[in-house]
Amino acid sequence: MEPNRQGEVWVYAEQEHGNVPEVVLELCGKARQLADQLGVRTGAVLAGSDVAPLAQSLIAHGIDRVYLAEDARLSHFQTQPYAKVLTTVIEKHRPQIVIFGATALGRDLAPRVASELRAGMTADCTDLDIADVDDPKTKTRHEKLLLQIRPAFGGNIIATIVNYDQWPQMATVREGVMPLRPADPSRRGEVIRESVSFDDADFLLKLIEEHVEQRRVNLKGARVIVAGGGGIGSKENFSLLYELAGAIGGAVGASRAAVDSGYIGKEHQIGQTGTTVRPALYIAVGISGAVQHRAGMEESAKIIAINKDKDAPIFSIAHYGIVGDYKQIIPMMIKAIKEKSR
């Protein structure tokens, strides 16, 4: 579609079983910020069956208009009908920006919608901003474009991507990289019901059974995280980290190096290719502190680093650093914590 400079900034309000994931609310706050920079309104597309009660939460987090598409056949997510909802509503209202959470559903849905609309899309962004951009080839200045910022080449560079002609500007954004702004229950917004015509071809799949596996690790919700890196050396050695985490009521995380080495499961991974966290206390054990890992934890309120290498990059962001062998240090920490709690 052609650029619409007055178009709104939209969030796809993903939901499952009547629950909106936190990343959606994070993006509502970011959409509010971007819309204020552009001088336009915010919107959210909410699709499903009997999901209207979720609209007020979106409004409380910064949304002005909720575009509601309800249909009993949308009770369970299917890519094709949900993509039809998005493309229909986008073509009707012509927003200038549409952002999705980089969840399993968002990563499935966003590319389908972008392909249908012939629009560009940037995946797994870690930041978004608005700025004027000069085209070096045509010497043309494009005003107030969406800067879609993401790591590239394994995190060795940060790429800024813009889309000046095929709108809407679309991006998926990783969970946890945008701060969750406080809700304002007094905010008032508008709920607009949208009618989308479906046919049988839109529902080629039938859900027979659903099996939900509970998440075993909640790194985003943990106030204390003890994370291990490749320097831990083995799967068995992670038992020390579990013992420390248990003593202080924390969760166990890991760097990609530890996960790739098979020391711990991928659900524990923190960093650009894992979870982004902001705990009150982050204890990094045997983690060198490569930029890919730091991007996922450097906004922790307090960081303690334990590493034998005094020149490890992790010490550059740590509030407290301990140079030494974690096999000696952690048992001393556990002992001190247990003695204090008696």
Q: What token pair was written down for 191?
A: 């709920």
Identify which has the larger pLDDT, 218 or 52.
Answer: 52
Would you give the DSSP letter of residue 28?
H
pLDDT tier at 59, thresholds 50, 70, 90:
very high
Please write the tens of the pLDDT for every residue from 114-123.
999 999 999 9
Angle at 288 between CA 283 and CA 290, to 5 degrees: 105
Q: Map tokens 């490569």 to a residue.
A: 290
Which pLDDT score is estimated for 273?
79
* pTM score of the predicted model: 0.78
Q: What token pair was written down for 338?
A: 């247990």
Which pLDDT score is estimated for 100?
97
Q: For residue 325, is it left (φ>0), alpha (ψ between -120 and 50) or beta?
A: beta
Q: What token pair was written down for 163?
A: 């889309």
Q: What token pair was written down for 192?
A: 């607009």
Q: What token pair was written down for 23?
A: 């990343």
Characterize the bridge pairing of strands 157-161 and 140-152: antiparallel
